[in-house]
Amino acid sequence: MTSSNKNKISRYAFILLLLIGLGFLIFNNSGYIKYLKLKSEVKEIRKEESQKELENKNLQAEIDSLEKKNSTKVEQIAREKYGMMKKGEKIIKVEEK
């Protein structure tokens, strides 16, 4: 073999090894594609977490108002959730079609 043929073979071998290495870095179980999927999942989880934190704040505010014996709030919950009423009141149910 001539020197130029050896150089060509060396270049091709180097390029082939480089492509195999890049393919491995991109497509293996801890590669770039997996990284992108995990990054997307983290974003979704953080969004869900912020929604849950807001929901918790709202629920805590409701608990606080009930603990303070806010009679209006207690009455509202008694009427809506448990169908309770005051003496002399009549419940009128409206059905939507």
pLDDT in tens, the chain (97 residues): 677 788 888 888 889 899 888 888 777 888 788 888 999 999 999 999 999 999 999 999 888 877 777 777 777 887 778 878 778 877 777 888 7
Query: Long-range contacts of range 16-19, CB-CB < 8 Å, 24 or more positions apart?
Result: none
Amino acid at 30: S
The pTM of the full predicted model, rounded to 2 decimals, is: 0.49
Could you tell me if 35 and 43 are in contact, meaning their C-beta atoms sit under 8 angstroms apart? no
Euclidean distance between CA atoms 83 and 92, whole angstroms: 11
Residue tagged 């409206």 (tokens): 94
